[in-house]
Chain A
């Protein structure tokens, strides 16, 4: 089964840059696009990156998505951290049977 693995938590200070990784268990992570979702407590997730590195309208350009085929991983980088960025972040893709797959989620703390 295809799985996506994320760090459980990351923390960084306001104004700094943080990167959250998402590593594929098998095959090539580049085979299907990766999305990133932000989820604040008590709310549904919202999209911050789609198709590996595209930002929906309204998402600031401080959010950057990338793929590294050599490490079979995707990354979400957030620069100029703000306290409002504190949330859970999930990567998501699909397996070879078109079944959705989420990473375990990463809690970002901005302190």
Chain B
């Protein structure tokens, strides 16, 4: 069974600071890992998808790394803005599986 953990559960930073969000998973036989953003009471917005053969993916101010051997992924958000305030979830897809295993998320607050 795949267990996904996200630490910290919550984070509060001043505007402009860089954010580092951590995600760990117990089964390294993953097919890919996806990062999502969720605003309160809303659905999930996909941010980045990293295939198992990749080490990182970048989109604008977002960068995600993947280290399968250690069972970790990290999401970096540069120069945070108040609009980045949300809950960030990581989800791992195991090889030969069809379901995403989610962490409980990290709730980020960026103070103006």
Chains A and B are bound partners = no
Which residues of B approach A to under 8 Å, CB–CB? none
